[in-house]
Structure 1
Amino acid sequence: MPGRFEGLTDTQGKILQPLLPQNPPKNLKGKPHIPWRKICNSLFWILITGSR
């Protein structure tokens, strides 16, 4: 049975922060960068809940 995921806590986010690349400079063209925490929450939600 798939689990339940409520999102990363502040402590977990602080642990992951040094492992992730820095945000790109804001003067680049294209789509704006999505915060890494939001990306990680999305990936963990898919992995834990078994969603497709």
Structure 2
Amino acid sequence: FPGLPRWWWARTGETPLTVPAQTPEQERKYLEDITKSLEGEIESIKKRLEEIV
């Protein structure tokens, strides 16, 4: 799955070749899940930065 950073695949243990999307609906949900996960990562990074500063 292009566009995602390498650390994402390392963290989830998935590879771009194992995207579990067969139908457009499944693909949409999968992308939504990834988006939510990445948003969560960003929020936790922001919190860590605030603690450091």
Q: Which band: TM-score by shorter chain?
A: 0.3 to 0.5
TM-score normalised by the chain length of structure 1: 0.37
> Higher helix fraction: Structure 1 or Structure 2?
2
TM-score normalised by the chain length of structure 2: 0.37
Q: Which one has more relative contact order, counting CA pairs under 8 Å at least 6 apart?
A: 1
